[in-house]
Structure 1
Amino acid sequence: MNRFMFGYCATLISALLWPTLPTFPLACAVLVIAVIMLKWSKLLAGSLLAIAWMSLFCHQLLVFTSDKSSEPPSVRGEIISLVYRNGDWINADIRILADHPFHFPDKYLRLRWQSEQKVAIGEVWQFTLAPKPITSVLNQGEFNQQAYLLSKHIIGKGRVIAAKRLLPPQGMRAKLLTKLRQDLASLANGDLMLALMLGDKQQISDAHWQGLRQSGTGHLVTISGLHLSVLAIWVMGLGGYLLGRLTPRLGLGNRQAIALVALICCGLYAFLAGLGLPTQRALIMLVMVILLGLIRRYASPFERLLWALFIVLLLDPLSILGAGLWLSFGALAIILWFTQSWPAPDERLSSWQRLKWRLKQMWQIQWRLSLSLGLLQGLLFGGFAPYALIFNLIFVPWFSLVVIPLSFMALITWIIGIYLGVSVSLPLYLLDLAISPMTLAFDWLGELPLHWLPASMQLVSALVFGLLGLILWRLASGAWRWMIPVLFMPLCLWFLPQRLTDPKSWQVHLLDVGQGLSLVVEKQGRALIYDTGAAFGEHFSYADRVIVPFLHYRGIGELDYLVLSHSDNDHAGGADYLLGRYPKVKLVTDLSYPGAIDCRPKSLNWQGLRLEILGPREPQPGNNGSCVVRISDGRRSVLIPGDIESEGEQSLLTQSAEVGSTVLIAAHHGSNTSSSGAFIRASAPGIVLYAAGFNNRYGFPKAEVVRRFRDQKALQYSTGDNGQLSLKLDEQGITVLGYRRDLAPFWYNQRFEFGEFGNPE
């Protein structure tokens, strides 16, 4: 084993847990030390190189200087992906085009602009931007968009102020993509064919996306290691057969020629697929495995895998932040682990017996792969697709034997037909027919229950430890076997009922929903929610993207109360979605929902806590009509005043409402129209939380409000700075945990500013 590469890969992967990255001068010094250490310790030298290279790479990627003569900034970029289009609003990813020839690594921006013009992939535009950093909302259970953008080398977001098309689609792929879309428009599975032939997944319909997710087969339409490996096997198999017939004596020469042809075919397929980062990683991995196999220098499959991983992480260290790397290399490592010790089939077996032997081996690989990747999927995506094993057992072989080679053949014949001026439609119809069994199965799958099983992080972690226990039980001996019951302990503890937890402990979670409000009160596996955050259009809601994943992550199965303070979108936008997901929830609001509990002053008991609705005394529109709630355990209390302003605060004080609180959710996100001096003195909070988005356009929380609370000696925290804020209230007191600072204090979760890189905190 190469110690240098092992040290580099292991240390770079550990960057997932680093709290910060070295500064640029320190990284340069570490790089020099790494070169010096090569003479004494290759393992240490590799580790030091990983530390230095991760920091230098991020500095090179994230530092951005626009055209200094323009304000706001102006950039020239090529459209590489149309992420989303709704009417005349466009969301697109662009590759920034530099004026100098050497620009490593490529930098991308995610832009949103309003345009009635038709926009195509491959066009070059000049954009004038209102830039935004990649800093995103962060909560437990939620998809980490910030890490995802970093893994895709997207260094910023922005709103387009002005745009001018400079050049039509450039390059062969862009022209082919436009033509192929037209030719596939009439076919039922044209969207999936486009993904398989040219790697464009933007056209995949919602119904097909849902089927791919529920069946766990999304990897089959993403050109990656499976597709390139299958293509290489087919080319080498057919080439070996043909060359064996034509030149049977040139054994080694035939192998080398076939391998070269296979690599050329895979490189062509990857190029036509757009050479996205997952495709690049898969191609590098395949090239290394084949070349090292040809030169016969590294016999161990794991050594070849280490070489491939080293090259991938050297070219793109940020790939560790994406799920694709873990799924690709995880699948290959699992296959190597379970197949390296298998004996070859007995030479005396008949053809039928050999076929049965190979089917048995395929079944053993597939169920192990599905189980292991299912657990990995649970860690990455917070849930399981229960039908994934069945679908993958059927369609992975079908795609490997039929669909993937047919996709490449259809693509090549279609391209040749274009350049010859001949319409070649038969391969396209055959490919559409070959994909049909899977899409028909999607319709059948939609009628079955339990398409997707969300899982709490406690359960997923317990299952991972349980799997490690099973592996240790099969492989370990001697003193190591005492670890087996320890590894099974988390799974046993997970089955303990929630009521066995501390009955006096409860949690308050102020979720990061941008410039909006959503608060979850949790006790013994049940929850109360105050407000839902915003919803935008038909396809986006913070209730869907943040609240429900958070509840699943925490293992909260019951939602008892939903309080809607008032009608503003940033407070009640996700109400209908939550009511649809939890039809038995009790609704507290003055909005016009049938059967809702109104916000007139009253007191309710919930899970041993006192839930006091303080007002308003009469329904009224606007911010001062917010439903004010106080939650108390008898010793500590949390006051949630919604968006009330100074007039509403004065009304509460006039009616002698009990507003004294240990924790206060600042009214109206920290607006200067709220949090009057009289109200602050009456509530006298020790802790103040602001539901305010990062760099929000209103400037919340206002400096004057912060000063008023500081004068009262209150501790202050904002979701814009910290992400999700969680408070644990128990016999020992109150513990405040921020997502960026405490729950996931890693460098890629910190706040970033556009065009800058350093220690942002």
Structure 2
Amino acid sequence: MRYPPLQAPLLWQVYLGFWIAGIAAVEWLWPALCCALLLAFAEKRLWHTARLALAAALVLAGLGAAHWQMPREAQPPARQSGGQEKAPARICGTVRDVQGLPDNRLRVILTGVAPQPPELTPGGAGAAASDSSAGLPGLTAWTWEKPLLRPLAGQIACLSRRPRPVRGFANAGLADWGRWWLARGVQWQIWSRAERGEPAFFGEGSLSARWREDLRRAFLAALVAGTSGMSAAATPDALAPGEAARAEKARPAPCAEQPELPQGKAILLALLFGDRQYLSQSTLDNFAAATLVHSLALSGQHLAVAGLLSLLCVLAAARLHPELYLARPRAIWVVVAALPPAVAYLWLGNAPASLLRAVCMLFAMAFWLVRGRPCTTPDVLCAALLCITLVSPLSVLDTGLQLSALCVAVIGLCLPWLRRVLPEADAEATRLQIQGAWRRGGRWLLRILLISLLIQSALLPLNLLLFGNAGFWFPLNVLWLPVADLLVLPGAVLGLTLAATGLESAARVVLDLAALPCQWLTDGLSWLDVHGVLQNPALLRPHWTALPAFAALLAALAFKAGRPNPLPAARRLLLAGMALLCLGPLLRIAERFSGEMRVSVLDVGQSQAVAVRLPGHLRLLLDGGGSASPRFDPGRALTVPALTCNDAPRLTAVCNSHPDLDHMGGLLYLLRHCSVQALFDNGREGAGARGAEWAELRQALGSRVLAEGDVLTLGDPALELRLEVLHPPRLAAIARREPEEQLPGKENGKGPKTAKTAEEEARRAPSSDALPGWSGNDASLVLRLTRQGHGLALFTGDVERPALRRLLASGRDLRAEVLVAPHHGSDRSFLAAFYKAVQPRLVLASCGFQNRYGYPGPRLTAWLAKHGIPLLHTGQSGQITAIWPQDGRLRVSTARP
């Protein structure tokens, strides 16, 4: 392919942009419409009524096609009275796909899930009782932790589990991954562990799935056999799914515990098959932090193996028949010969969207080259995207396809500049033979570095928005990508070939050598992580307008390469990009001068995090969410990204109501990666390892203990904004503490003014003596936000009835317009007299969607409905924000309608 100065796209490629923008608008309406308008503004050829009408029609057609194909969110089944769920029914479905997940997990995609039919029931008995005999619409994603065997596509899987509708987390400015699942047709989810749910499998699976699984098992056996102290029989894969399925009832028997495959060898399995089952989550996190996780995704770089194989085949054929080069140039023969191995690799990798894009590009390139027409990277990319989106429009919403297509687009746009910055070696250098091979190798590595830098720069807004990763370690691509493409992947393919042909000893040697660079890389990343230099700091996540702004600026610079003067379209793109780039900072400035107050209950699942924003740009966080899962930290995945949405990672104060994991766990990440001026808590100690981490952070940050009677003055005293502490009672030993403290009105203040002696005594006091008779949930801080004495919001933590009765007996003013329900809205914390005393206009509850506790409780729900008080909870509405304008009444917004 030739790269003269970048030419304007063909008209059909411009129209393709409108079609894709229409599809994307089903999920991201305003960003997609902004990109479509930007394209129309830059492309002067569209400035005619007929062509503009066609562009608008394509946007509407894409939106209509995506809306028609997008499944609706599944509706949860009705619960029994009392909020209790029925016993799970026995269900069966056909296995459509199986994916290996880190930490020894499988994701099994099932289709046609329905109650178990009589023919699959022992003795021919009827199926288990179910709400309905009809099957579930759409696909079901079953996450199987510590699986006993690996199912095959085409088998029938049965287990006793209750499918739940797929639902992501809906927070302003964050992606809702539930919509990503819906775009793939998945409407339901199931979770099980080992033999729980009594999984059983019937049938032998499809022929293609059996062949693929035989290759994977042969490859895995060679990997395991080369590991000291392990044998192929020690793995659950030694239980052949086909053999188990031939039984009348194929229930997997308990087997040996899954061995921990060395991470270097686990990377080989992930690189070749896309199977991450043997990877640990920490290894995957380290790859993501080092900007190397893209190398584990099956994409275009994996087709380098197909290219090497085709080159060897063409060279060998040309030795035997040199006249081949008279018919077609060698480059065309190499591309055409790469098609069969590329299709084979597409089958082996189970056709993920990113790899499918690469194979389609290869076919488009071969088509153009055979016809003798020149083509560029943007040409073949547009052809591939046209084919993919016509067949499956919703694939536009696939993150893997988005990132891989954008990377290729950046490479195509930047190649003219690279040719100018790094021109080919001139004749004088060749004549002098100045270290020719080393010089070419250095230029090749420098080109990889520049391409990585350009890709990282162009995708910076998207990476920050989706992953919060600025990619500071992108230079590692220079070391890893050449090794992966030229040594590791060819070695893995050679090892697979040897293992499949029965040469296990030779395969073991080859795979051991191929795994060495992988092990060195994982060890190096672990060393960097242990020393605290690998993980990226929390950064400001830009406004979505930065995405089209960067795209416009990149395109404008690309069209300038090789031209003395930029094209008129490039000038328009440059102006539009600069204007869009200024929008985010302008919105931040307006935010700082805004006089409205906001209380946002974030959607963090079955936990709680409340963000408070006050005039003067005071930002407070009350609790940070949390989860017992070792792989999911709501603080890292939800709370910090929500707080840094078009804002700096700085908070005026953080307050923890009590150190239960669902309120404190997310604060561990936040306090390490964000700037916090003041930390407050109730003086209690947390349990377990995370409790010890919490104690260390409290000591390092100088946490202050709050108790009844304390008052925090928020910002300018003239505004009379206060945060009153109503519970728990004060320790007698520190009763002489001054009752009022002041928080700064600006983020660059030096911290709150406190009574230092009282605080020192509070921190030294043992928690068992600090709050006699109050512990656990009932020791939660109860805070009341007031303006000029008027109650705006009441935050109650997890207090239960004893603490609520004490609050009523104290005689304090509890009235507030908004009440964050105690203990996530549980009936155990419901006291009618307390709600009457608060007199809320709105009650908010932070709880998970379809949580197993039945929150919010039916008694609370019924009482509020009887008294006409609205109840909103995050499981249904996503993030809920109560807004008090400077001169207006309370209004409410939710992330979900």
TM-score (norm 2): 0.69
Q: Kindly provide the amino acid, as one letter, of the partner of residue 682 in structure 2.
A: T
Counterpart position of 1:453? 537
Aligned CA distance change for structure 1 residues 650 and 334 (closer, same or farther; 3 Å): same
Aligned CA distance change for structure 1 residues 438 and 374 (closer, same or farther; 3 Å): farther
Counterpart position of 1:122? 152
Counterpart position of 2:471? 385
Counterpart position of 1:502? 593
Distance 2:59 2:584 in 1: 35
Distance 2:498 2:144 in 1: 38
Aligned CA distance change for structure 1 residues 623 and 396 (closer, same or farther; 3 Å): closer
Aligned CA distance change for structure 1 residues 98 and 49 (closer, same or farther; 3 Å): farther
State the Cα RMSD in Å. 4.2
For residues 86-118 of structure 1, give each alpha carbon's deviation from its aligned partner in whole angstroms, at most 9, with x where no partner exists. 8xxx6632343799xxxxxx9643325688x72
Q: Kindly provide the amino acid, as one letter, of the partner of residue 592 in structure 1.
A: E
Query: Bigger relative contact order, structure 1 or 2, given CA contacts below 8 A and separation 6+?
Result: 1
Please tell me whether the aligned partners of residues 636 and 662 of structure 1 are also in contact (alpha carbons under 8 angstroms).
Answer: yes
- Tell me by how many angstroms 1:392 deviates: 1.8
Distance 1:577 1:180 in 2: 39
Distance 2:412 2:791 in 1: 56
Q: How does 1:350-749 map to 2 (within 5 A)?
A: 351=430, 359=444, 364-388=450-474, 390-416=475-501, 418=502, 423-436=506-519, 438-439=521-522, 441-443=524-526, 445-446=528-529, 447=531, 449=533, 451-458=535-542, 465=549, 468-469=552-553, 472=556, 475=560, 476=566, 480=572, 483=576, 486-487=579-580, 489-490=582-583, 501-502=592-593, 504-523=595-614, 527-553=619-645, 555-559=647-651, 561-566=653-658, 569-574=661-666, 586-589=679-682, 591-592=684-685, 597-608=705-716, 609-617=721-729, 619-621=773-775, 623-634=777-788, 637-645=792-800, 648-672=803-827, 674=829, 676-702=831-857, 705-706=860-861, 708-709=863-864, 714-733=869-888, 734-741=890-897
Which segment is superposed worse, 401-410 or 303-312? 401-410
Please tell me whether the aligned partners of residues 126 and 165 of structure 1 are also in contact (alpha carbons under 8 angstroms).
Answer: yes
Residue 12 (structure 2) aligned to one of 2, 24, 27:
2
Residue 164 (structure 1) aligned to one of 200, 204, 207:
200
Distance 2:793 2:72 in 1: 45
Aligned CA distance change for structure 1 residues 286 and 732 (closer, same or farther; 3 Å): farther
- Tell me by how many angstroms 1:402 deviates: 3.2
Q: Which runs of 5+ in 1 are unaligned?
A: 20-37, 100-105, 742-761
Question: Matched residue of 2:369: which SS?
Answer: helix
Q: Kindly provide the amino acid, as one letter, of the partner of residue 249 in structure 1.
A: E
- Tell me by how many angstroms 1:6 deviates: 5.1
Aligned CA distance change for structure 1 residues 7 and 522 (closer, same or farther; 3 Å): closer
For residues 557-576 of structure 1, give each alpha carbon's deviation from its aligned partner in whole angstroms, at most 9, with x where no partner exists. 34454444446554445565
Q: Which runs of 5+ in 2 are unaligned?
A: 1-10, 31-49, 78-87, 115-136, 228-261, 561-565, 687-694, 696-702, 730-770
For residues 112-146 of structure 1, give each alpha carbon's deviation from its aligned partner in whole angstroms, at most 9, with x where no partner exists. 5688x722253843234311011122224656331
Q: Kindly provide the amino acid, as one letter, of the partner of residue 65 in structure 2.
A: W
Question: Matched residue of 1:2: which SS?
Answer: helix
Aligned CA distance change for structure 1 residues 494 and 429 (closer, same or farther; 3 Å): farther
For residues 53-93 of structure 1, give each alpha carbon's deviation from its aligned partner in whole angstroms, at most 9, with x where no partner exists. 3244334998999xxxx95543233661343668xxx6632
For residues 431-456 of structure 1, give each alpha carbon's deviation from its aligned partner in whole angstroms, at most 9, with x where no partner exists. 12343553454256444736413322
- Identity of aligned pairs, percent? 22
Counterpart position of 1:23? none
Distance 1:561 1:226 in 2: 46
Q: How does 1:105-120 map to 2 (within 5 A)?
A: 108-112=139-143, 118-120=148-150
Please tell me whether the aligned partners of residues 684 and 712 of structure 1 are also in contact (alpha carbons under 8 angstroms).
Answer: no
Aligned CA distance change for structure 1 residues 703 and 298 (closer, same or farther; 3 Å): farther
Please tell me whether the aligned partners of residues 539 and 649 of structure 2 are also in contact (alpha carbons under 8 angstroms).
Answer: no
For residues 515-568 of structure 1, give each alpha carbon's deviation from its aligned partner in whole angstroms, at most 9, with x where no partner exists. 332212234565433334342244434333322333333535344544444465
Aligned CA distance change for structure 1 residues 179 and 168 (closer, same or farther; 3 Å): farther
Please tell me whether the aligned partners of residues 113 and 159 of structure 1 are also in contact (alpha carbons under 8 angstroms).
Answer: yes
Please tell me whether the aligned partners of residues 646 and 675 of structure 1 are also in contact (alpha carbons under 8 angstroms).
Answer: yes
Please tell me whether the aligned partners of residues 382 and 553 of structure 1 are also in contact (alpha carbons under 8 angstroms).
Answer: no
Residue 179 (structure 1) aligned to one of 208, 218, 225:
218
Distance 1:677 1:448 in 2: 50
Residue 361 (structure 2) aligned to one of 285, 288, 293:
285
Please tell me whether the aligned partners of residues 225 and 283 of structure 1 are also in contact (alpha carbons under 8 angstroms).
Answer: yes
Counterpart position of 1:77? 95
Counterpart position of 1:757? none
Please tell me whether the aligned partners of residues 189 and 436 of structure 1 are also in contact (alpha carbons under 8 angstroms).
Answer: yes
Residue 344 (structure 2) aligned to one of 260, 263, 268:
268
TM-score (norm 1): 0.80
1:231 aligns with 2:310: no
Aligned CA distance change for structure 1 residues 13 and 285 (closer, same or farther; 3 Å): farther
Aligned CA distance change for structure 1 residues 240 and 375 (closer, same or farther; 3 Å): farther
Q: How does 1:193-232 map to 2 (within 5 A)?
A: 193-228=268-303, 230-232=304-306
Larger Rg: 2
Counterpart position of 1:321? 397
Please tell me whether the aligned partners of residues 592 and 617 of structure 2 are also in contact (alpha carbons under 8 angstroms).
Answer: no
Distance 1:664 1:238 in 2: 71
Please tell me whether the aligned partners of residues 608 and 625 of structure 2 are also in contact (alpha carbons under 8 angstroms).
Answer: yes
- Tell me by how many angstroms 1:639 deviates: 0.5
Please tell me whether the aligned partners of residues 725 and 738 of structure 1 are also in contact (alpha carbons under 8 angstroms).
Answer: yes
Question: Matched residue of 2:882: which SS?
Answer: strand
Distance 1:730 1:219 in 2: 45
Distance 1:307 1:179 in 2: 37
Q: Kindly provide the amino acid, as one letter, of the partner of residue 429 in structure 1.
A: D
Please tell me whether the aligned partners of residues 133 and 155 of structure 1 are also in contact (alpha carbons under 8 angstroms).
Answer: yes
For residues 12-39 of structure 1, give each alpha carbon's deviation from its aligned partner in whole angstroms, at most 9, with x where no partner exists. 23333249xxxxxxxxxxxxxxxxxx9x
- Tell me by how many angstroms 1:310 deviates: 1.5
Aligned CA distance change for structure 1 residues 644 and 375 (closer, same or farther; 3 Å): closer
Please tell me whether the aligned partners of residues 597 and 886 of structure 2 are also in contact (alpha carbons under 8 angstroms).
Answer: no
Please tell me whether the aligned partners of residues 137 and 514 of structure 1 are also in contact (alpha carbons under 8 angstroms).
Answer: yes
Please tell me whether the aligned partners of residues 462 and 494 of structure 1 are also in contact (alpha carbons under 8 angstroms).
Answer: no
Residue 16 (structure 1) aligned to one of 15, 23, 27:
27
Aligned CA distance change for structure 1 residues 296 and 716 (closer, same or farther; 3 Å): farther
Q: Kindly provide the amino acid, as one letter, of the partner of residue 519 in structure 1.
A: V
Distance 2:516 2:72 in 1: 47
Aligned CA distance change for structure 1 residues 54 and 61 (closer, same or farther; 3 Å): farther
Distance 1:331 1:196 in 2: 19
Aligned CA distance change for structure 1 residues 181 and 153 (closer, same or farther; 3 Å): farther
For residues 701-740 of structure 1, give each alpha carbon's deviation from its aligned partner in whole angstroms, at most 9, with x where no partner exists. 3465445445665454321222111234341334422122
Distance 2:263 2:375 in 1: 46
Residue 138 (structure 1) aligned to one of 155, 170, 174:
170
Total equivalences in the alignment = 703
